[in-house]
Amino acid sequence: MSASNVFTGMAHTCIHWFRKGLRLHDNPALVAALRDCKELYPVFILDPYLYNNTLVGINRWRFLIGCLKDLDCSLRKLNSRLFVVRGKPEEVFPKLFQKWKVTKLTYEYDTEPYSLSRDKTVTTLAKEHGVEVVYKISHTIHDMDRIIEENNGKAPLTYNRFRTILKTIGNPKKPIPAPAIEDTKDVKTPCSENHDKNYGIPTLEDLGHDTTTLGEEKFPGGEQEALRRLDENMERKDWVCKFEKPQTSPNSLSPSTTVLSPYLTFGCLSARTFWWRVTEVYQGKKHSEPPVSLHGQLLWREFYYAAGVGIPNFDKMEGNPVCTQVDWDTNPEYLAAWRELISWIINVSWVLCMSCKARTGLPFIDAIMTQLRQEGWIHHLARHAVACFLTRGDLWINWEEGQKVFEYLLLDGDWALNAGNWQWLSASAFFHQYFRVYSPVALGKKTDKNGDYIKKYLPLLKKFPAQYIYEPWKAPRSVQQAAGCIVGTDYPQPIVQHEVISKKNIQRMKLAYAKRSADSAESPNESPSKKQGVKRKAKSVIDMLQKKDKK
DNA sequence: TCTGTCGTTGACTAA
DNA sequence: TTTAGTCAACGACAG
């Protein structure tokens, strides 16, 4: 290791590879990079596998660019710069290793399947080039591999089980401070005059985006903004102590939660820093507890990360052992209506279409999808509403389709959380009470009787009286005329009758579950302890249903 | 092996 | 306005 360098007076030429973890605070891999370092190259790679216009929507691009600009700004204060490189990491690194005579590579550990295989390839390449590799865990609060090990090699499938495992692991580590200028006084970052041309941060236009229709930037990316938002939220001590997620509103006009999630996703904010700041606020005070508290929210993130590590094909239905196999419909029209609504363009003027793209004919759902598209963030319960609606509740479309849309549009689109929550909401895994269905009408009314949220995001409905705002098709013709919006012409009829279709879908879920039990009886669990014992006659689906009916 | 309890956030109705 | 019961009945976990 670096011992030889110490004795010979040699110091490292090091690349710190930023991927997530776009911050200086609580960044142990960056600190490791600065140890025995004479030259530091902070690098971000625009990997086309992760960052392309099919996967990443314009708002998420804008957020990323904000993060990179902020990072470059912070690095300048340490007399360094960020190097943005385009290309596949396995092609980029060998060139950089040679060009800069690199001896050490540091990065933050990333547990996503693509990241693991990418990092394995890059590590092999590094070794071939005589480059030492150092990585540190700091994207999650805990070590996911350790959690799975403590749970006998499997991901915990319930939150309680997950918390039990955490008790054996103990408190999270304390975050470490950002490197200061003293830490980099012997470190140089060689920059040419052409730095911005060769390694600059791209603009949205560079990436081929039309920015003329871009909305206000409500949540600018970057570590400084993340820390500012954290401070701002932690100042509300009473609110922090009383925070209970289910009590927050999905349809308030300004967010009822912290909106720190995008900053956690990109690693502008360290989850450990967040955790310990909340702990400080709790000190000596009565406070809410997981799963509903702010700590609880951070633990949900860890829960899904562990699931993403321990469960194969976690982002798919097929080949995913915890996911109930459901005979979802293929219905491009329904999907388009939920997502953005191509089929309604014919009937509606372009101006109206531009201002309100989603068109299921259910204002609460359409308003949420409009907010998602415009702002890149929606409240967790709003996600529940539209996710349940797309899948088991109403449209009976595979959750993987929703997963793709969320990944594209959400600033906090996070692989493990996205996959896990879609399975939860579709009652495919983790949550199994499929007969509990959200009403696209009733849910929103609980916290917004007047429908102000709907009026904000679907202005063409703004003149409807509160009585009909959630169900405009029920309004008498005269009311529709007075509101200047005729249902079926200006705004669509609901694409489904929720009361009818949701009951039908519950029965379809019941069948999927029965088939699941029958299948697991046919091919019992893989675990050796369960393989032993008397073989039982496999039950058919029909047997299962008959048994259930008799009850 | 079986059984009881529990599960971040349902909707609806009646009191 | 808030709370409890009903609807129908799931899987994971712990004992």
One domain, residues A401 and A463: yes
pLDDT at A358: 58
pLDDT tens by residue, A444-474:
999 999 999 999 999 999 999 999 999 999 9
More confident: A280 or A347: A280
One domain, residues A281 and A252: yes
CATH code for position A244: 1.25.40.80
Residue nearest C14 (alpha carbon to C1'): A161
pLDDT grade, residue A518 (50/70/90)?
A: confident
Eight-class DSSP state of A461:
G
A480: enclosing H helix or E strand: helix A477-483
Q: Is A36 within a domain?
A: yes
pLDDT at A397: 97
pLDDT at A520: 80
One domain, residues A417 and A281: no
Provide the mean pLDDT of chain A: 91
Alpha helices (runs of H) in A362-428, residue ranges in sequence order: 363-375, 380-388, 399-409, 415-425
CATH code for position A107: 3.40.50.620
pTM of the predicted protein model: 0.92
Q: Is A274 within a domain?
A: yes
Residue A299 annotated in ligand binding: yes
Closest CA to A397 of A443, A337, A438, A437: A337
Q: Is A322 within a domain?
A: no
One domain, residues A255 and A360: no
Region A227-248: what's the mean pLDDT?
96
pLDDT at A524: 58
Q: Is A19 within a domain?
A: yes
Q: Which nucleotides of C are covered by protein (CB under 7 A)?
A: 8-14
Note the CA–C1' distance, A39 to B8, in angstroms.
Answer: 48
Q: How many domains does chain A have?
A: 3
pLDDT at A42: 98
pLDDT tens by residue, A248-291:
999 999 999 999 999 999 999 999 999 999 999 999 999 999 99
Note the CA–C1' distance, A548 to B3, in angstroms.
Answer: 18
One domain, residues A133 and A149: no
Residue A161 annotated in ligand binding: no
Q: Is A20 within a domain?
A: yes
Residue nearest B7 (alpha carbon to C1'): A431
Question: Which range of residues forms the domain containing residue A83?
Answer: 10-139
Helix pair A223-235, A58-76: axis angle to 10 deg:
100
CATH code for position A400: 1.10.579.10
> For residues A366 and A458, is the Cβ–Cβ distance under 8 A?
yes
pLDDT tens by residue, A178-196:
999 999 999 999 999 999 9
Q: Is A58 within a domain?
A: yes
For residue A9, pLDDT over 70 is answered with no
Which residues, 6+ apart, have CB-to-CB distance to A282 below 8 Å?
A240, A241
pLDDT at A3: 46
Residue A36 annotated in ligand binding: no
Question: What is d(CA A174, CA A276) in angstroms, rounded to the nearest whole number?
Answer: 7
